[in-house]
Amino acid sequence: MAIANPILNFVVRGFQALFGIVVLGISVSLIRGHHWGSLPASLGFSAFVGGVTILGAALGVAALFLTFLDGMVGLIIDALVALINAAGGIVSASLGRNGLSRLFG
């Protein structure tokens, strides 16, 4: 159940990887700059979400070349990555403006 056009698959997976890199980069930057108290779990989870997104993009590109990643396996991988990203968005949104100001000054 891969995308019919391989170029479109590369474009979609490229954007997925780009967004994963941005999330991972921002999360790691915030983790390295955190100096007060213990590290909030939401920062570690955000870095995990970015890493999983990059891995999902790499597996999506690999599905073009490896037939066992096509079909149901690819669909399950994409669904799992989507659920993890949705959970990361919910965690980030639940912090809200007050939660972010408490974490970062």
What one-character-per-residue DSSP string does the chain give? ---SSHHHHHHHHHHHHHHHHHHHHHHHHHHHH--SSSPPHHHHHHHHHHHHHHHHHHHHHHTTT-GGGSTHHHHHHHHHHHHHHHHHHHHHHHHHHHHHHHHH-
Residue 39 has pLDDT above 90, yes or no: no
Most confident of 8-12, 32-36, 64-68, 82-86: 82-86
95 domain-assigned:
yes
For the stretch 52-68, pLDDT in tens is 999 999 999 998 888 88
Average pLDDT, the chain: 86
35 domain-assigned:
yes
Look up the domain containing 91 and give its range.
6-104
99 domain-assigned:
yes
Provide the pLDDT for residue 36. 82
Report which of residues 86 and 93 the model is more confident about: 86
97 domain-assigned:
yes
- Structural domains of the chain, count: 1
1 domain-assigned:
no
